[in-house]
Amino acid sequence: MLSRAQGTALSVGAVLGTGVISMPALAADLAGPASLVAWLALIVLSAPLAWTFAALGARWPDSGGVSAYVRRAFGPRAAAAVGWSFFFAVPLGAPAAAAFAGGYVADVLGGGRTTVAATFAGCLAIVVTMNWFGLRVSGRAQLILTATLVVLLVVTVLAALPHARWTHLTPFAPHGWAGIGAAAAVLVWGFAGWEAVSPLSGEYRHPRRDVPRATAAAVGIVGVLYLAVAGASITVLGPAAGDSPAPLADLLEQGVGGPVRAVTAVIALVLTIGAMNAYFAGASRLGAALAEQHSLPRRPFGTVRGNLIFISVVSLAAVAAPIALRTQMLLVTGCFTLVYILGTAAALRLLPRGWSRRGAGLALTSVLGLLVLTGWPALFSLVVAGSAVLYTRLVKIESPSSSSAGSTAPNPSTNPVESLP
């Protein structure tokens, strides 16, 4: 069973993930120092969003997570749309996540895009092998990774702060105020993971008491860490913050010196492999569950290994496709934002009147705005969800009976613990 401290650590790890190693640089490139406004906005948004999923998990502990609540509220076709949105985002997101780690490796070894591509190939081979033979990253290993990441971030910020310069905050919005919206759309990548709270709710000793408290603590910790790293990147690195392929390495080198770049490259690789493993494990099993429910064709999606092959092939195609990294990220964040939209809409229907429902309404309004900020890549998520609904209509999936409306559904979220120790 999960203690409150363990739940907090797992929630922090699920959200921080690979985003923290490169998001500050990407946001700074789009908005300059004004990217701090986008960071603050996403942190504020996280509170009602995380609270909504915590409220759902506390009331209805269900390993199916968002999909189970959407199924309960709107039926199997809407749940299939959630599942498809997650499933088809994974092969697009894997190359982008590996590109972040590849930037750190290339920063140490050189080689540019070739090294980045080789890093992705290596990460893909390790993750597919692990999932092919059923190897898992244990809950304790995930906790160690999270603790290591938090310590690294704290040390990096504290060591770099003496080198901060207020003059680096001007000009504040070099790309205009529209850059804040562009940065916010990209930063959704760094905040994906709050939906992982609800599938874990059944693992707590006292879900109604511990889930909200662990979630509140996680929101505070994530918000402080993200804002601290982003602020340090802007004030210490200045205009170079947006051009760095390895911002954490740059900050740590400023404050500590020595062979820190190699250390941060190793940590970036471990974090990326851990995140990719969780996504591939979740997606491969989700695909099989969707096929079992006739929400996907049984071939090639009926088995975990068949899904691994499909995800790997699409991931390799995504690497070869002439799609810019930012566009690739927006395609993925559009899908995750749609999952949030359907999840918060389900919360509005399921939660009782009061602060929880008001929070769900605020979260729904916010994520709808984020989907608009994503721009034309958001159309991809709508196409995926529409295709799911069309497919389920063609195969004539029936609505569940009242006795099975609350049954466990496949989990479309990135669960940081595949099996707890």
Residue 358 forms part of a structural domain: yes
pLDDT digits (tens, 9 = 90+) for 328-350: 989 999 999 999 999 999 999 99
pLDDT for position 77: 92
pLDDT exceeds cutoff 50 at 405: no
Residue 169 forms part of a structural domain: yes
94, 315 Cβ separation under 8 angstroms: yes
- Mean of pLDDT over the chain: 84
d(CA 189, CA 17): 10
Q: How far apart are the first and last CA of the chain?
A: 9
Q: What angle do CA 178, 180, 182 make, to 5 degrees?
A: 75
- Report, as an integer, the average pLDDT of 45-72: 83
Residue 414 forms part of a structural domain: no
Residue 416 forms part of a structural domain: no
pLDDT for position 202: 67
> Percent of the chain scored above 90 by pLDDT?
33
pLDDT digits (tens, 9 = 90+) for 138-158: 556 667 777 888 888 898 899
Tokens representing 260?
A: 């820190």
pLDDT for position 420: 29
pLDDT for position 385: 95
Question: Any idea which of 41-45, 103-107, 137-141, 392-396 has the lowest mean pLDDT?
Answer: 137-141
pLDDT for position 196: 62
Question: Any idea which of 94-98, 270-274, 319-323 has the lowest mean pLDDT?
Answer: 270-274
Q: Domain range spanning residue 198?
A: 4-394
pLDDT for position 421: 29
pLDDT for position 232: 92
pLDDT for position 142: 66
pLDDT exceeds cutoff 80 at 131: yes
Domain count, the chain: 1
pLDDT exceeds cutoff 80 at 260: yes
- Phi/psi for 204 (5° steps) reads -75, 150
Higher-confidence residue of 122 and 5: namely 122
pLDDT digits (tens, 9 = 90+) for 177-233: 889 998 998 888 888 777 765 666 667 777 778 878 888 888 898 899 999 999 999
pLDDT for position 410: 40
d(CA 177, CA 171): 12
Question: Any idea which of 168-177, 217-226, 255-264, 379-388 has the lowest mean pLDDT?
Answer: 255-264
pLDDT for position 409: 39
pLDDT exceeds cutoff 80 at 13: no
Which residue, among 279, 208, 265, has the nearest Cα to 55 in the 3D structure? Answer: 208
pLDDT digits (tens, 9 = 90+) for 22-39: 888 889 999 999 999 999
pLDDT for position 275: 80
- Report, as an integer, the average pLDDT of 415-421: 33
pLDDT for position 414: 39
DSSP state letter for 397: P
Which CATH number covers residue 218?
A: 1.20.1740.10
d(CA 348, CA 367): 14
pLDDT band at 51 (very low <50, low <70, confident <90, very high): confident
> Which helix (DSSP H) or strand (DSSP E) does residue 263 occupy?
helix 260-292
pLDDT for position 200: 63
> Percent of the chain scored above 70 by pLDDT?
89
Residue 367 forms part of a structural domain: yes
pLDDT exceeds cutoff 90 at 120: yes
pLDDT for position 68: 83
Residue 403 forms part of a structural domain: no
pLDDT for position 263: 87
- Report, as an integer, the average pLDDT of 340-365: 92
Residue 420 forms part of a structural domain: no
> Which helix (DSSP H) or strand (DSSP E) does residue 209 occupy?
helix 207-232
Residue 194 forms part of a structural domain: yes
